Amino acid sequence: MTESERIMVERLFDAFNRRDEAGIAELCDERMEFFPVTAQSVGRVKPYVGPEGLRAYLDDIRRLWEELLILPKQVQSDGSRLLVRGRVYLRSRQLGIRDMPAAWIWELGDGRFVRGEVFADPEQAAHHFAAVAS
């Protein structure tokens, strides 16, 4: 992993934790596709796409969780993709408090995030990351 990739991941996760829409958008391609676990919880079958998708995603997060914090712990790169392993801390009145492992696969293009997918099972993410690289 390069230093610039590490910084990009840190900036993206920090902006997300602050719900800084402009900060996230600055790091992402205008056509970025995002496939979060949250989509299943709100009945969404299509990815969140571009700035409009980003706003919809952040709105869904606000509706579902009183608190949501994502923490990257380990980043692996294969040149154009990053596998980020970390933890997710969630809190809601309905579901209580959760602290669980998670992983993200991010694709990069022209120095920006162009696709992201969240995995509740880090091993599934690692398997997917390795399979696509082969």
3-class secondary-structure state, position 26: helix
Residue-range domains of the chain with CATH: 3-133 (3.10.450.50)
Q: Tens digit of pLDDT per residue, the chain (134 long)?
A: 789 999 999 999 999 999 999 999 999 999 999 999 877 777 888 999 999 999 999 999 998 889 999 999 999 999 899 999 999 999 988 889 999 999 999 999 999 999 999 999 999 999 999 998 76
Alpha-carbon distance 124 to 30, whole Å? Answer: 28
The secondary structure element, H or E, covering residue 18 is: none
Give the single-character DSSP code of 19. T
Whole-prediction pTM value?
Answer: 0.92
Which residues touch 115 (CB under 8 Å, ≥6 apart)? 32, 33, 34, 35, 106, 107
- List residues bridging with 119 in a β-sheet: 103
**Per the structure block, which two tokens stand in for 5?**
């990739």
